[in-house]
Amino acid sequence: MKDASAQGFVNWDDCIETEPTGRRDDFLQVGDILVAARGSRNYAALIDSTLTITGKNAVAAPQFFIVRITAANLLPEYLCWFLNQPPSQRYFELNAEGTLTKAIKRNALDDIPIAVPDLARQQAIVGLANTLQQELRLIEQLRRNGEQMLAAIANELAKNVEDSK
């Protein structure tokens, strides 16, 4: 679960590699959506074209539901975004079971009400969401750069104090 992000993507570099035994027909495909079935947040992560770049097959861990879209009027990127939004998260919270570890059942996921605008609007929403994610990554990088600069200044000041003793 640590390799699938609540921001909607999979970190393929950190995934565990294994050799599955027997014949497998449940490999993930580009466009599949993983939905975390357990935990405090039932986030969705899209299997995008990065999977094909790795040149490897992938299977989902058992704590994920796999959603494979068959409708022509629904973009996987849009559905992934929609499942991560507050109305969907509230739906999951209301339909979760368990006391210590919350979990949703497959039928709760299957029954979630989904707003499906036309394809042009879905593409616009996905584009806006991607732009926002890129902005957030840049802001985070700027924050890390600032912290590194301040740490370097502090180290230099500390070195100067020690050298002057």
What integer pLDDT is reported at residue 19 of this predicted model?
74
pTM of the model: 0.79
Asked if 95 contacts 65 with a C-beta cutoff of 8 angstroms, the reply is: no
β 64-67/44-46 pair status: unpaired
Q: Residue 32 in 3-state DSSP?
A: coil
Residues of the chain with pLDDT under 70: 1-9, 11-14, 22-25
Q: Residue 34 in 3-state DSSP?
A: strand
Structural element, H or E, at residue 87:
helix 86-95
Q: How far apart are the first and last CA of the chain?
A: 51
Whole-angstrom distance, CA of residue 141 vs CA of residue 152: 16
- Read off the pLDDT of residues 78-99 as tens digits, 9 standing for 90 and up: 999 999 999 999 999 999 998 8
What integer pLDDT is reported at residue 57 of this predicted model?
79
Q: Residue 26 in 3-state DSSP?
A: coil
What integer pLDDT is reported at residue 14 of this predicted model?
67
